[in-house]
Amino acid sequence: MGATGLVGTEMLSVLEERGFPVEELRAFASPRSLGRRLPFAGGEVVCEVLADGCFDGLDLVIVDVDESISEEWAPKAAAAGAIVIDKSSAFRMDPDVPLVVAEVNPDDMRSLPRNIASCPNCTTMVLLVALAPLHRAAGLDRVVVSTYQAASGAGQPGIDELENLWTKLNGESRRLRRAALHPDLLALGDVWPKPIAGNVIPLAGSVKEQGYTSEEWKLVYETRKILHDDAIRVSATCVRVPVFVGHSMSVNLEFRRPMDKAEAVELLQAAPGLTLVDHGDGAPTALEGAGVDPVLVGRVRDDPSLPGAINLWVTGDNLRKGAALNGVQMAEVLLQQR
């Protein structure tokens, strides 16, 4: 479901790249994409639309649509006998739906009371690959995280808006350097209330309780659920930056027993789904993480203000590991378990 979207097309690529065993593939999209042909495994799959009975005979349904559509159709797929892997936020906090990062808590897939398993938000996904091995060793007490989230987190409209604004900014660099923002720019764009090109917007998601955004609260609640620890304290500030692909995070970690850089490095080097960048400047960028499977971690440092705490930098592809890849990995876990 959602086969023609940014994540949907990435999903098709990942299924093909990883050789996932598909006997029959069906692609569902919106009515405007009915009949559209999508490449897959040397051939094509023709887009269908959702309708009563459309899930009959399917073993697995992977969902990448808006929450409201998922709330309506994912239970129908489950009732038809399919296992559903849902990427929307519709079921993430449902106690009968496991919230899974494949490298972190795959055993949670063994119990599916509703025949639905959920993927976390793309920012949580990237972060938890790095945090999980440290938590298992020393127990996370407090996480303070600032995110730098790519425009593609808002889907294709986010990418288009960033690209269009960059084009319109061409020739305005001298004006911008003088901090005299062209007044026309303030009205540009529909995705964000302020221009994203050449800018940093310290507000990702909609504002919720206590002034924190939906993106920030997702980091709080999803981290606790995935790590099975409601005592972890999480404080987040989510920021949108003019990057096309790749979410990055600056993270400060306090533990229930002291941890130093040497131990953290050893744990991260052995962690699945993660590459520790400890050569050169040890500062992986979003551009380096785009298009690759592993989450990149660098700048691991002892916190000089708080012995036993550490700082690190995390970046990963929000479309790939943050969505499509984890969905396929969850399906692979199902095959292994069953």
Catalytic residues: 122, 247
Which strands form 37-40's sheet, in the order they lie side by side? 27-28, 43-48, 37-40
Q: Between 261-269 and 122-138, two packed helices, what is the crossing angle to 10 degrees?
A: 120
Alpha helices in the chain (DSSP H): 6-17, 67-79, 122-138, 155-169, 173-177, 214-227, 261-269, 286-289, 325-337
What's the Rg (C-alpha) of the chain? 21
Rounded CA separation 121/321 (Å): 11
Task: Read off φ and ψ for residue 320, nearest 5 degrees.
Answer: -90, -85
Compute the distance between CA of residue 271 and CA of residue 129 in angstroms, rounded to an integer. Answer: 8
Distance CA 174, CA 132 (A): 45
Calpha distance 155→319 (Å, rounded): 9
CB count, 10 Å around CB of 139?
16
Q: Which residues contact 104 (CB under 8 A, 6 or more apart)?
A: 128, 129, 132, 226, 227
Name the nearest CA neighbour of 152 among 328, 322, 293.
322
DSSP one-letter code for 99: B
Name the CA dihedral angle for 126, 128, 134, 137, rounded to a multiple of 10 degrees: -150
* Contact yes or no for 66/48 (Cβ under 8 A): no
Question: Residues 130, 135, 137, CA angle at the centre, nearest 5°?
Answer: 110
- Residue 38, classed as helix, strand or coil, is strand
